[in-house]
Structure 1
Amino acid sequence: MNLFVHNWSDGKTLPKSYIFPPEKRPGEHGLTLKTNQSVPIIDLSKAYADDAGRAEVVSQIMKASKEIGAFQVKNHGVPSKLLNEARTMIKEFFELPAEDKEKYISYSHKDIFALYTSNYNYFAEEIHFWRDVITQRCLPVEECAPYWPDKPAKYREVIGEFTTQANEVGKVLLELIAEGLGLERDYFEKSGLGEELDMNVNHYPPCPDPTLTLAVARHRDRSLITLVMQGDVAGLQFLKDGEWIPVDPMPDVFAVNLGNVMQVASNGLLKSGEHQAVTNQKVARESAAVFLCPGDDRVIEPAKGLISEEKPALYRPLQYHEFLAAHNRGRTHKLTADETLKSFLINQPTT
């Protein structure tokens, strides 16, 4: 446990192994933070009001998904009480004594529940991220929960209910996205592209100098769609037109971003949301990202309903495990998300 940031950090010391070079810091390549903009918030309850309300929500989702690859949703149906309880369980887990957490330490992608620091490849990294992380598989809950922590006492119960309800919100959003693309409403359910559910829980202790390090580097997700539960501390940012757009932290709102699988499935009509997380100098921050992903053997390809003579398929078919391996290689070799996706283009650009 001595490697974990929350165990050794005194709030004043920033080791060299956490200091990124200037071109990789939060304002990398001169990208600025656009504080007078935020990721749009969509009232999901309107989708159930009437046909006009549903059409309005679909239009808002499509606009955000094409422009930034991300949006926020309120009135999504997950009770505030449950969200607060989930945040409490997460906070209490990280506050447990080291001896209660040590048995969960793992740097293997295969474990149902793993606790680690920075990233899976911590021991090969030149520079570490200022975070400690939980990764857990969530479905089926009854099979996964026995591998989750038994402390705090209600962790399994609360997190099981939270991930189950977050998954239902994800399914609703996928139906709305399918409608917006002109596909059958149940396209993503039938395709199995969102059948697996994983969750990353990030704990970001206070950082002595947030301008020098990162909580999570600029990237795009491996998912079809991701739902993020935040608290009341800012940190998540999305890239739009060369500028970082902050996500206003609101406890009852999910931040939603499209992943690379959605960009492929939509034949490039929608973009995966490029994002990063920054640290805070005074307070700790937690977030929980719920990923709806394909099973390993599912075929990832553009939806046939989006392919025509005028709009041929951009990406070749591939199984998700191949897609995931390329995603992981890209992060290890510091490739951009665009560089990783280019390897799946049918007509790859010449250099």
Structure 2
Amino acid sequence: MNAPTLPVISMTALESESGLAELRRAASDVGFFYLVDHGISHESQQDYLRLSREFFQLSVQQKQSVDMIHSPHFRGYNAMGSEMTAGRLDAREQFDWMNEEQAIPDSALSQPWQKLIGPNLWPTSMPGLKPSLTKLQDQLSDITVNLLQRLCASLGVEAHALDHTIGKQPYTHAKLIRYPGQHRPQQGVGAHKDPGYLTLVMQDEQSGLKVERNGQWIAVEPIPGAFVVNIGELLELASNGFLKATNHKVESPKQGVERYSIAFFMAAQLSATVPVLSLPDELSARASGPSADPNNPLLTDVGNNVLKGRLRSHTHVTRRYYCQQTARTLLANSFAQLPINDICSECTI
């Protein structure tokens, strides 16, 4: 087994004060940690990763039948070179799915983020994919909601302090990801922070994920059965910067090697506004406010915070569905103060 390069947190230890203290240290000092004893066995994880490999082994035509270009809600398949991070193309292919919902007609939209709401795209050639990934989505949703409540408790506030932002079900976004081998080191996915509350990553045996710490990039070696967890921007906002959303990236594997992972992102409901928690004086004194990036400002309204990332990452979908006059007007009203003219050169807002 690989040696841990991040703190290791046991889910079963989070009922104790010492366990909560370890969780608080990991989330505030690093913003990343391994999670064990979470209830999904290593064997089950391997089954999901095998299912992921099966999807990516489908023919080009079968995968293109669920290409994201068919979804104004940013669901479905992305071939190599279809997603951008930090302005550069990523060397990976992936399949995205989110909460299964009914789309809102354009005529009824009052906020641009409402266009994110809609159904997923599922390949007819893999009828077992939808029930399997929906089950995984439910399992990971339960884990992240529980973990969010434990994090609140670790901060000395009521465990359910953020439950009202989640409602009956959190907003979730998940990806099957394949990183093909490259002749030379390449951006599998560029340096970034995640926009939600929490992210869980299921890794295969190949390394590649790296976390920025004290100006250095630390490799997050896979540990069998452990999820990698990172704090998202919404938790950094809610804790006034006490908890850290940390830059991370993935480097492509070497030629002849493939890397598979499954990433799960949990956030508040898109309609929610994230509150700033009233931390105890000792912790509040150590909260320096959320990080500020003029090119990527954090927004307390969840829907727009999520949407700006989608618009920048998948510009081909943006051009097809968000450049019409109705969508452009909504975007201009919501993002008037943001530098988003990098989204689409053909329809600068």
TM-aligned CA distance change 1:274 to 1:186, over 3 Å: same
2:91 is paired with a residue whose SS is: coil
TM-aligned CA distance change 1:166 to 1:305, over 3 Å: same
TM-aligned CA distance change 1:118 to 1:303, over 3 Å: farther
8 Å CA contact 2:98, 2:173 repeated in 1: yes
8 Å CA contact 1:67, 1:240 repeated in 2: no
8 Å CA contact 2:209, 2:251 repeated in 1: yes
The residue number in structure 2 matching 1:41 is: 8
Match of 1:219 among 159, 168, 192: 192
Q: Is residue 133 from structure 1 mapped to residue 94 from structure 2 by the alignment? A: yes
Match of 1:165 among 139, 144, 147: 139
1:217 is paired with a residue whose SS is: strand
Q: Is residue 202 from structure 1 mapped to residue 164 from structure 2 by the alignment? A: no
TM-aligned CA distance change 1:105 to 1:332, over 3 Å: closer
The residue number in structure 2 matching 1:60 is: 22
Distance 2:28 2:279 in 1: 18
Distance 1:126 1:317 in 2: 20
8 Å CA contact 2:165, 2:274 repeated in 1: no
Q: Which amino acid aligns with 1:250?
A: I
Q: Which amino acid aligns with 1:103?
A: S
The residue number in structure 1 matching 2:48 is: 86
8 Å CA contact 2:83, 2:313 repeated in 1: no
After the TM superposition, which residues 225-264 of structure 1 pair with which residues of structure 2 at under 5 Å, given as runs?
A: 225-264=198-237
How far apart are 1:322 and its partner, in Å? 2.9
2:243 is paired with a residue whose SS is: coil
Q: Is residue 318 from structure 1 mapped to residue 300 from structure 2 by the alignment? A: yes
2:61 is paired with a residue whose SS is: helix
Match of 1:295 among 269, 294, 305: 269
2:132 is paired with a residue whose SS is: helix
TM-score, with length taken from structure 1: 0.73
The residue number in structure 2 matching 1:114 is: 76
Distance 2:314 2:76 in 1: 19
TM-aligned CA distance change 1:115 to 1:326, over 3 Å: closer
How far apart are 1:306 and its partner, in Å? 6.4
TM-score, with length taken from structure 2: 0.73
Q: Which amino acid aligns with 1:320?
A: V
- Size of the aligned set, in residue pairs, is 291
TM-aligned CA distance change 1:184 to 1:152, over 3 Å: same
2:94 is paired with a residue whose SS is: strand
8 Å CA contact 1:89, 1:154 repeated in 2: no
8 Å CA contact 2:90, 2:187 repeated in 1: yes
8 Å CA contact 1:139, 1:196 repeated in 2: no
Q: Which amino acid aligns with 1:159?
A: L
Q: Which amino acid aligns with 1:133?
A: Q
Distance 2:83 2:263 in 1: 20
How far apart are 1:80 and its partner, in Å? 2.7
8 Å CA contact 1:69, 1:257 repeated in 2: yes
The residue number in structure 1 matching 2:260 is: 286
8 Å CA contact 1:83, 1:162 repeated in 2: no
Between stretches 263-272 and 153-162, larger displacement belongs to 153-162
Once the two structures are superposed, residues 228-268 of structure 1 have per-residue CA deviations (whole angstroms, 9 ceiling, x without a partner) of: 11111111111111111111112311000001111001111
TM-aligned CA distance change 1:129 to 1:184, over 3 Å: same
8 Å CA contact 2:211, 2:249 repeated in 1: yes
Distance 1:279 1:76 in 2: 28
Once the two structures are superposed, residues 55-100 of structure 1 have per-residue CA deviations (whole angstroms, 9 ceiling, x without a partner) of: 2221111111111111011111113332121111111000011222
Q: Which amino acid aligns with 1:236?
A: L
How far apart are 1:218 and its partner, in Å? 0.6
Query: What is the percent sequence identity of the aligned residues?
Result: 19
Q: Structure 1 regions of 5+ residues with no counterpart?
A: 1-34, 49-53, 334-342, 345-351
TM-aligned CA distance change 1:279 to 1:160, over 3 Å: same
TM-aligned CA distance change 1:110 to 1:250, over 3 Å: farther
Q: Structure 2 regions of 5+ residues with no counterpart?
A: 103-116, 291-297, 316-336, 339-349
Q: Once superposed, what is the RMSD of the aligned Cα atoms?
A: 3.4
How far apart are 1:292 and its partner, in Å? 0.5
TM-aligned CA distance change 1:36 to 1:159, over 3 Å: closer
8 Å CA contact 2:203, 2:262 repeated in 1: yes
How far apart are 1:105 and its partner, in Å? 1.0
Distance 1:69 1:319 in 2: 22
